Structure 1
Amino acid sequence: MSPDPVATNPKHYSVVFENERVRVLKYHDEPGTLTLPHDHPDSVMITASSFRRELIQGDRKAEVDLPAGRAVWLAAQSHAGHNIGETDTDVFFVELKEPAPAGISAGTDALGPNK
């Protein structure tokens, strides 16, 4: 996996809350922004704005188009992101610090949220 998004993309990611069990990140970018590769643990992603973006993981690409006010599951994954829409992207990530229960996939093949 790649580095922490707050370290690789500090202009876009910031920590707004953290305790022993979760970390909450705020993300913001403008149209055309391309982030450096980074990783996400299992998380809940909450969209504060509508957005369209492309997620890139090696040769794989996935387009994500979500409305404001959605909460979706984001399985652990590494990717870079590109805002390919016409609006800013505003999102919150509630990252889980606890490992997944036994028998639950870590989601390493995932790219993008599970709608």
Structure 2
Amino acid sequence: MCQSVNKKKAALDAKVDTSASAQRLHLLERELEDLEAKVRATKQRIQEEKDLIAGSKQEAAVLTAELKADLAELSSLSKQVVLGADEEDEAVIAKVDRIRLDAIAAINDFLQETCPR
């Protein structure tokens, strides 16, 4: 009977001594806290990526609109281009330049006649 009581007492002592279980519980709680912190950090990074993607989509939409406007303007400008040879333009420019030089020479001649040094 004493042996039976001693066994039951040892079993009871083992059940009552919860320090090992409490330590395991504490470790599990710390592990859970660490995991929850990682989850929060991961959720934050996910939100940042979503924000980045949304911002990129908005920027892309703005750039697309600007590009369309630029292309429309280029199309309009290309319709305004006057076709012709460069030689014709160069001849007109040379003629105007000769007229300009003749006018400058005439002004210099006039000034020298009216205001001799």
TM beyond 0.5: no
TM-score by length of 1: 0.15
Larger strand proportion of the pair: 1
Larger helix proportion of the pair: 2
